[in-house]
Amino acid sequence: MGKKHPCSSSMVWDMKTMFHCSITIFFLGGLATLVSYNYYKNNDQEAAMIKVSLATATFSTANANIDDIDTSTITNATQAGFDHQRRLKIAPPPLTETCDLFSGRWVHDNRSHYPLYKEDECRFLHGDLACQTYGRKDSKYQQWRWQPHGCDFPRFDGKAVVERLKGKRLLFVGDSVNRNQWDSMMCMLYSSIPGSKKLRLSLSKTLYSFKAKDYNISVDYYWAPMLVESNGDDPSNHSLDHRTVRIKSIEKHARHWVDADILVFNTYLWWRLPIIRLLKGPGSLLGGPDQVYDEVNNVRAYKMVLETWSKWVHTHINPEKTKMFFMGLTATHSSAKDWGGKKQATCYKETEPVTVDGFRESGTDPEMLRILESSLSKLKAKGVNVQLMNITQLTQYRKDAHPTVHRRLWRPLTEEQEKNPERASDCTHWCLPGVPDVWNELLLAYIFSTTSQ
């Protein structure tokens, strides 16, 4: 048998043996401590080097030509970082994905932000919307801020928006409410671009174009109130008692839209008549005496036109190049009894918003909003994202913000209308500055959401 170590448990321990064993254990413990310290020190140094390597690689990527970067350095450093359970910082999701910007309330704010521009300083403003120019005395309607529940959105910064829109074409397509929004955007940018002499407004029969030459920005509006061909395609002559459309004919209008970088659609008001005429056969002329047509209810016709529009978008628009938006339905405060007013009254002389949470005026058809939401969902399933700007609820409260009789009149009021101005009141469009400025602030939050992280 081999010789047993003097510290073996089988030995009889005396004082001398115990002393030698204590010295041995102390020496071995110290050696182990030293080795452990060096090990962890080296690992911490390595982790610190990995962190520096990752930061350097990230900075270099942002400031160098991609062909000059040694990607193996980044890959190795990243892998080492994961091996040591280091987490890379991940950009938070954009505000538009974490906050419902369309659920909120109106807050009076006359100190910091609103109005975004002065009516008399926007020389391109359409007379139908210049309410103070045409006699409106109160101005509180210009001073309301939309406040989403539990969050906020970027307020308009004209200089930043102008820089981000450089080289782009922003196009609004639809009826006169979309033109109302275009007017708003035009005035917002007009107040932000230095050198008004370098700004140009050009008007054709169906296309209005606002251009900032130095920035290569074009903000346009195309008149297509029903998106497809209709008897309302003449913007200066469409006061008709019926609506007639070629429900599958969109190319006549749509060929003017394809080169836009940002498309903003709407269509709703012109579909509210109970019956829509659908032309049959290519030979039947819009407005002609020998029209052949079917009559369908407005909800079914609205669904059909969105199907035609969806097919065109899916076929002709590259969603990687063009951002697309569809504005929700807007309120028409034509019946004051909805908010407790007189039976025959309208929005005439209203100066305060409705404050009842969830208020809905009777002229808005929720079925049409559901059809619109469904159409956009089907497009998204096919890989084409058209963002719904669901401004429906936020417009419901603003019975105070319409032009009523304070607008340019295309024909003099009749004696009956002068006696009863409610009957001549425009409760469909919106005074500017006013509610559409907030629509555009929300729109810009979505347009630039992917670049603001």
Clarify whether 452 is annotated catalytic: no
**pLDDT for 313:** 98
Question: According to the model, what pLDDT value does residue 236 have?
Answer: 84
CA-based R_g, the chain, Å: 34
| 278 φ/ψ angles, rounded to the nearest 5 degrees | -110, 115
With tokens 């008692």, the residue in question is 241
Q: Residue 389: helix, strand or coil by DSSP? A: strand
d(CA 310, CA 180): 24
Specify the pLDDT at position 241.
Answer: 83
Question: Domain limits of the chain?
Answer: 15-83, 95-451
- The reported pLDDT for the residue numbered 138 is 96
Q: Pick the catalytic residue from 128, 175, 400, 426.
A: 426
Measured distance CA(325)–CA(403) in Å, rounded: 26
Q: Could you tell me how many residues make up the chain?
A: 453
Q: Is 426 a catalytic residue?
A: yes
What type of residue is 301? A
Q: Decide: residue 74, CB within 10 A, 0-12 exposed, 13-18 middle, 19+ buried.
A: middle
Joined together, the tokens standing for residue 255 give: 């060929």
Mean pLDDT by 10 residues, the chain (453 residues): 46 46 49 46 42 34 36 40 42 74 94 91 93 96 96 92 96 98 96 80 94 95 97 86 93 97 97 94 67 94 98 96 97 96 95 97 96 98 97 98 94 85 94 98 90 41
pLDDT computed for residue 380 by the predictor: 97
Q: For 85, left (φ over 0), alpha (ψ -120 to 50), or beta?
A: left
Which is the catalytic residue, given 126, 253, 402, 429?
429
**pLDDT (0 to 100) of residue 329:** 97
Angle at 186 between CA 182 and CA 189, to 5 degrees: 140
- Catalytic annotation present for 230: no
183: Cβ–Cβ under 8 A, 6 or more apart, which residues? Answer: 124, 125, 126, 129, 432, 436
Q: How many CB atoms lie within 10 A of CB 357?
A: 8
Distance CA 173, CA 229 (A): 13
At residue 415, the pLDDT reads 86
3-state secondary structure of 386: strand
* Interatomic CA distance for residues 328 and 344, integer angstroms: 27
Give CA torsion, residues 371, 206, 363, 301, to 10 deg. -40
d(CA 418, CA 413): 6
Alpha helices (runs of H) in 64-173, residue ranges in sequence order: 71-83, 95-98, 158-164
- The catalytically annotated residue of 176, 230, 375, 449 is 176
φ, ψ of residue 145 in degrees (nearest 5) = -110, 135
What is 244-281 written as a DSSP string? EEETT--HHHHTTTTT-SEEEE---GGG-SSEEEEE-S
Task: Look up residue 270 and give its two tokens.
Answer: 């012109």
Please give the Cα distance from 217 to 142 (Å, whole number): 27
Q: In the sheet that 293-297 helps form, which strands lie side by side, from edge to edge? A: 229-230, 243-246, 275-279, 293-297
Joined tokens for residue 16: 């001398």
pLDDT of residue 111: 83
